[in-house]
Amino acid sequence: MPTPHNSAEAGDIAERILLPGDPLRAKYIAENFLTDAKEYSHVRNVLGYTGSYKGTPVSVQGTGMGMPSISIYVHELIDVYGVKKLIRVGSCGALAKSLHIRDVVIAQGTTTDSSMPKNIFGSSVNFAPLADFSLLESAVRHAREKNLSVHVGNVLSQDRFYDDEIDFSKLLSYGVLAAEMETAALYLLAAKFGVQALGIFTVSDHITCDEPRATPEERERSFNDMIKLALDSIIEG
């Protein structure tokens, strides 16, 4: 049952899936973490693979950048292909000074300047897109078992990468930990369809202070830690 954005047939995609924004990260995850991974789609160069992790079928697919892009892929993955558990994996920019480069951030909830929730609910309701608690609980437990520096809380899903108007200092004063660009849409669609979703990130840079960026080697190592955390969390239950 291919769609305009995905050439997978029925049964090609597992019920559990990791969602990096970068399609080449999907390829990297498939080649380095999944057993017997096979490509199921490369439409528009958005790569998707299915293999297994510790004996459990798992897929991985790129989503592109931003909420409009991830919304297309997530909607089809759930509605057309029957995906039940989705974990977004990616990088984020830290706001909180307690966060450091390479730390892991798990989005318990999302704040967004996107109009997507208002387009759905109207101006009288400000819907709060939240993570699935069982996935969140599993990820926190596994992070502690792996001795990862993990932070759990509210994350900004920003509609524009270059945004001179957004007030990061005010968001920080209200406890927002970090900024990225997709997870509010993921949580919104998971709520609509009644499936489980989570966002897990590594801190790649700091927005509110001058902590040096991670080196390519550090980014790869911390990315690998995040992927193992996401995989161990998604195969439970």
CATH of the domain at 107: 3.40.50.1580
In a domain, 180, yes or no: yes
- Asked about 213 being catalytic, the answer comes back as no
Please provide residue 168's backbone torsions phi and psi, each rounded to the nearest 5 degrees: -65, -35
Q: Tell me whether residue 205 is one of the annotated catalytic residues.
A: yes
| Annotated catalytic residue, options 22, 113, 159, 205 | 205
Residue 160 annotated to the active site: no
pTM for the model: 0.96
Mean pLDDT of the chain: 95
pLDDT digits (tens, 9 = 90+) for 161-204: 999 999 999 999 999 999 999 999 999 999 999 999 999 999 98
Task: Flag whether pLDDT at 5 surpasses 90.
Answer: yes
What are 198's strand-pairing partners?
Answer: 87
42 belongs to a structural domain: yes
- Please tell me the distance from the alpha carbon of residue 61 to that of residue 77, in angstroms, as a whole number: 10
62 among known catalytic residues: no
Is residue 7, in this structure, part of any structural domain at all? no
Residue 209 has a pLDDT of 85
Got the DSSP string for 12-54?
Answer: SS-SEEEEESSHHHHHHHHHHH-EEEEEEE-GGG--EEEEEET
- Bridge partners of 6, per DSSP, are 3
CA distance 116 to 70: 12
Asked if residue 3 is part of any domain, the answer here is no
Q: By the 8 A CB rule, do 18 and 234 touch?
A: yes
Would residue 194 show up in a list of annotated catalytic residues for this protein?
A: no
Residue 8 forms part of a structural domain:
no
The active-site residue, picked from 134, 153, 159, 219, is: 219
Residue 110: phi, psi to the nearest 5? -130, 140
Q: Is residue 99 part of a domain?
A: yes
**How many domains would you assign to the chain?**
1
Residue 88 a catalytic site member: yes
Please check whether residue 170 lies inside any domain of the structure.
Answer: yes
Domain-embedded: residue 6: no
Domain, as residue range, for 147: 16-234
